[in-house]
Amino acid sequence: MRYNFIIMAKNSVPARKDIPASDKWDLTSLFASDSDWETTLKTLEGLTSEITQYKGRLADSDGTLLSALKAYENADKKLEAVYNYAQLQFTADETDSGAQDREGRARMAYTKYCAATSFFNPELQSIPDDRIQSWLKQSSFDEYRIFLTKILRMKQHILSEKEERLMSLQSESAGTSDKAFTVLTDADM
């Protein structure tokens, strides 16, 4: 009797393609198409490389730090959109191989981004507080004031650059078993 109930329940779940669009997430606010997502993912890879050019230079001048913060913010926003789009698509239909691929690539982009930018916070914290405080008095730093103040406040809790990089690199491998479990247990069957 129990098995009949499971079969009935299984047959009553419509395939993802049969669900009306009005009952699905509208991801067009993130990207109009998968092609737009691909383009942004490629752009993100370039932006990640751009940020690494600031390594060892954040304290050079207020202008250098400001440029680095803008590049960091721009890449971070793109990463968030790329990751959320892929994750939501995957969550909506874990049997969709395209969504699985995008979700995996978004995870990889996230891991690479975190590894590439692992220098950022430790290097910011190596800048003397009085120097950062003087830069924060400039109006050009207004939009980064809260971010920089939090970084300074957390100074004693931030790992070294080497330790931050190690932590960011392990994030991909740490999620592998959880990812496999999720796919095997949550996919519409």
Place 14 in a pLDDT band, splitting at 50, 70 and 90. confident
| Residues constituting the chain | 189
Between CA 50 and CA 63 the distance in angstroms is 16
Among the listed ranges 27-36, 78-87, 170-179, which one has the minimum average pLDDT value? 170-179
Q: What is the mean pLDDT of residues 148-157?
A: 83
Q: What is the pLDDT of residues 66-90, one digit of tens each?
A: 999 999 999 999 999 999 999 999 9
Q: Which amino acid is at 78?
A: K
Between CA 109 and CA 25 the distance in angstroms is 23
Place 162 in a pLDDT band, splitting at 50, 70 and 90. confident
- Domains (range + CATH), the chain: 34-181 (1.20.140.70)
> Residue 13: its pLDDT value, please?
73
Place 32 in a pLDDT band, splitting at 50, 70 and 90. very high
pTM, two decimal places: 0.75
Q: What is the mean pLDDT of residues 127-150?
A: 94
